[in-house]
Structure 1
């Protein structure tokens, strides 16, 4: 195989020098110079169109974000629904509504994301297949079939956006207000669309070389385009298959390595044809700036040698890591950080996301997590049998957080499933301090926590009791319910979801396990949302974190209420939802 890497001399762009071919008739010469078929302007017709479409989508999301910010700043306490209230409620319905296939354990993104992804698929399908012919009737008209040309340019133009959707330091987040983890759905679907267009591009070239020009073996031996194309397509296939859920998390390190191989192979493959390398420079700028920002901020937060954290084992599955941080490190309630554990072998080569369970006033980053496999299993082994085992870490962040100030709402509902409490509790504690200081408009708070066993929330009970006591001298009503779904609590019969409120209250009086009373069973999340939205408060915020099924119930209960608002139903006129999944 001849290792022909790049054409010489290497240029920024290749030339656009079309000429009439004497072997073609006038009709064929005119056809190959037609807009959307001309090889020499295919980057303008298809790659730039792809960029314009994706930029337009980001611009629309930015406009919605500006509208949301403006409405938040100019909102009144009127009890009457305005047209703006109805429009906002309908938009929030689309961002809340979710679907699932229960038998497969599959949960869709929110309806708004489904609509956007469907629009992306429809647009790129039309852009790829809308123009005929797909093949040149005469191979003298060009070795690259029109369908292969356009699908290749679409693939190249998607790359910068695919990377932009995935970075932690994210300019799309800055423009649209959508946190980086919620952009992952667009990263995965743009990658899948790119993979399909890459397959179309590759298979057409292979088909033509085998069945029309019969020069496949010669091309493979003398041209870099074929083997570099295969060298890119193989890791791209691997990346596409492993970019969804469990497999990506399990093989994250090899996932990143394959991404590097793919980018290098693609860079060589396109060989500065027309403006192809422009998209790689853009990708390098987006990823490089994000990477450099993360590195510098990590070192700023943690110093080059790292910070020393202390591990505490709360139960057989719950671990707490407390990291004293310099005063310059700041975060807001509900935000998360990425932690790199130094000195833990292979685990030091990847960073892991954790929600910060403490407030910045405490001066420590407190992370509470459940042990599974991988690094959490190693940390569990390190913490067992030791009083305060030490571990050196780098802290990158913070990221995410709640987009609105919960202190501006008259009623706030905190819902947590499992260790979702690490997200909701800091928000609750921060809101309580604002209420105590007279800096909040909140009149009522509902805090609902559902855990499998009592050990899962034992670490939080003293803090919850302290926060509840802080509010006892204020006029804010606080309803705090902890549900234990699997453990059998003493001296009580199981409470099913249909239990009435009075029965629950009686059971709470009976159950005094630990600092705070607990309820046996599962909360009826739909009823919790309905009760909060039909009370006297007109502005209601819901902050929820938990597993997929927990979020599904809350999202759809909120979506139902948003539709009710658009129809002018009695109850709240402004309902805000912020959801987090404690999985990654």
Structure 2
């Protein structure tokens, strides 16, 4: 049905030869205005669409350069005898890292904002789009003979459609932007959501000037009845409004599985309607081909990798390992490889309709090199949804066997921790699933003599001993491989009070009671060595304290004080 609304013959691009103007009704100034840059309808795609493309590409390139500099810096050696205080490069790096660490919390709404760097990135996107759209005057043609497309509507439309490929690129799991910038796909979601929001704003600015213009020209009724552009525009704007309105956290987080399915359906309707609406004007369809290429390549890469590494399912065992904790052990072939700290998406085939959904979990075990088969262990706390259903399957039984499809791995660290003199691993609750394999891998590197790292501090905060029981064997076994002078494990029981009989045993096991004072730990880290890495995983409040304490330390380095010259921070959160 959509083809009947397309102008025939259907072309790749429409003509750039001006037509439809009544030059006799225009002044000389008006004739000149409609052919100048930023005003010419027939070159608006070059002026506004390509300028928007250039902005996003420049921003991604800058982020890629900073990522490469960070990667190289992690491998550089700092000689304490050569320089006692931070250099200019150290200060610049610290100032930049301040923006990646600093975070804000809105107490009234209990909202944890993204890091300051993301806030600045979104703000830059907003300023650029608003300036490009609003800086050029006039917004409306002073003479009807100059065309029926208001200038502000034309430019808003091209900015909107040029944003589309990047909006989709920010959302994919196999993420090409993430590969360039060293950023995991889930951390790019903030740019996906805000670029989609700005695309919606420009779509509205594109829509309403046409309505205002047609009312002023007395053509609203005829356009409403006869023009296909109105109907195709509405057909695109309605699902786009739904996508923006229902993507806010209050709806998305509470009803995520329903949200995800409806999100794909609404996105398909939106794209189809918008494709017909733009009707191959100038180079408008080129942006759809670019969007399709980005999404299709990412999707195809995921599917082919999943088929190659896990086929149509791998044997898995589900068991309870503590209060509200379950573990999935998946037998994976040697061709399935992952690094410490990476996560996978799993689809549990033995759960009926729930097999249609996939969920992310961190791999809490290490891969044995050279083994014909490995076991990937996923430890998760029971909440609603999939984890609750799995927990019910193991009630009253030792384990439950099923088959799972594994998509991944994703994420992880993009710099080697073994290049830092001292490493602090901070885990809050089940955040230990992220830090334990990193701890074990770093210990193995130090034991083999292939690491610059001289000391590891591992701080774990859990409610009680029952929640610590599942992780204790792995932590104890890894720590036992190094002398006490090289590793320090501290376990905080946050909901258990110390009893009289616990004194001696707790002292030897480094068991503490109460929440860890994270800012104090970060300050100690800052004073401990020239190159320090801090890796933290836990709930939002836990990471908020770590982030801002690290941000304060980065300011000290930027000011040129202290012995620490390089402090690296990596955080992982429970939710996206």
**TM-score with structure 2 length normalisation?**
0.93
* 1:223 Cα offset (Å): 2.4
Taking the aligned partners of 1:106 and 1:193, their CA distance within structure 2 comes to: 21
Query: Aligned to 1:325, what secondary structure does the other structure show?
Result: strand
Q: How does 1:79-228 map to 2 (within 5 A)?
A: 80=83, 81-209=86-214, 211-228=215-232
**Structure 2: 5+ residue stretches without partners:** none
| Aligned Cα root-mean-square deviation (Å) | 2.0
Taking the aligned partners of 1:322 and 1:252, their CA distance within structure 2 comes to: 27
Structure 1 residues 438 and 75 mapped into 2: Cα distance closer, same or farther (>3 Å)? Answer: closer
Query: Aligned to 2:424, what secondary structure does the other structure show?
Result: strand
2:307 maps to 299
* 1:24 Cα offset (Å): 2.2
* 1:562 Cα offset (Å): 1.2
1:425 matched to 2:436: yes
1:54 matched to 2:56: yes
- Counterpart contact for 2:23–2:145, Cα < 8 Å: no
Paired residues, number: 563
1:483 matched to 2:497: no
Structure 1 residues 241 and 451 mapped into 2: Cα distance closer, same or farther (>3 Å)? Answer: farther
Instruction: Select 1:271's aligned residue among 267, 275, 279.
Output: 279
Q: How does 1:566-577 map to 2 (within 5 A)?
A: 566-577=558-569
Structure 1 residues 234 and 402 mapped into 2: Cα distance closer, same or farther (>3 Å)? Answer: same
Give per-residue Cα distances to partners, 1:429-463, cap 9 Å, x unaligned.
Answer: 11111122222222221111112343332211111
- Counterpart contact for 1:508–1:519, Cα < 8 Å: no
Structure 1 residues 452 and 142 mapped into 2: Cα distance closer, same or farther (>3 Å)? Answer: farther
- Counterpart contact for 2:323–2:467, Cα < 8 Å: no
2:16 maps to 16
- Counterpart contact for 1:4–1:224, Cα < 8 Å: no
1:319 matched to 2:323: no
**Structure 1: 5+ residue stretches without partners:** 493-506
Q: How does 1:332-371 map to 2 (within 5 A)?
A: 332-361=339-368, 363-371=374-382
1:442 maps to 453
Taking the aligned partners of 1:194 and 1:469, their CA distance within structure 2 comes to: 55
2:385 maps to 374
2:522 maps to 529
Taking the aligned partners of 1:448 and 1:289, their CA distance within structure 2 comes to: 41
* 1:491 Cα offset (Å): 3.6
Taking the aligned partners of 1:141 and 1:345, their CA distance within structure 2 comes to: 61
* 1:337 Cα offset (Å): 0.8
Query: Aligned to 2:300, what secondary structure does the other structure show?
Result: helix
1:310 matched to 2:317: yes
Give per-residue Cα distances to partners, 1:231-250, cap 9 Å, x unaligned.
Answer: 11111112112323352242
Taking the aligned partners of 1:223 and 1:476, their CA distance within structure 2 comes to: 78
Give per-residue Cα distances to partners, 1:153-176, cap 9 Å, x unaligned.
Answer: 100000000111111111112222
1:229 maps to 233
Give per-residue Cα distances to partners, 1:17-46, cap 9 Å, x unaligned.
Answer: 104524522333222222111111110110
Structure 1 residues 118 and 73 mapped into 2: Cα distance closer, same or farther (>3 Å)? Answer: same
* 1:2 Cα offset (Å): 10
Taking the aligned partners of 2:123 and 2:418, their CA distance within structure 1 comes to: 36
Give per-residue Cα distances to partners, 1:39-67, cap 9 Å, x unaligned.
Answer: 11110110000000111111111121222
- Counterpart contact for 1:21–1:29, Cα < 8 Å: no
* 1:3 Cα offset (Å): 8.3
Taking the aligned partners of 1:415 and 1:194, their CA distance within structure 2 comes to: 38
- Counterpart contact for 1:253–1:350, Cα < 8 Å: no
Taking the aligned partners of 1:375 and 1:217, their CA distance within structure 2 comes to: 52
Taking the aligned partners of 1:52 and 1:388, their CA distance within structure 2 comes to: 55
* 1:6 Cα offset (Å): 1.3
Structure 1 residues 516 and 23 mapped into 2: Cα distance closer, same or farther (>3 Å)? Answer: farther
Structure 1 residues 77 and 509 mapped into 2: Cα distance closer, same or farther (>3 Å)? Answer: farther
Query: Aligned to 1:166, what secondary structure does the other structure show?
Result: coil
Give per-residue Cα distances to partners, 1:60-92, cap 9 Å, x unaligned.
Answer: 111212222332333333352322122111111
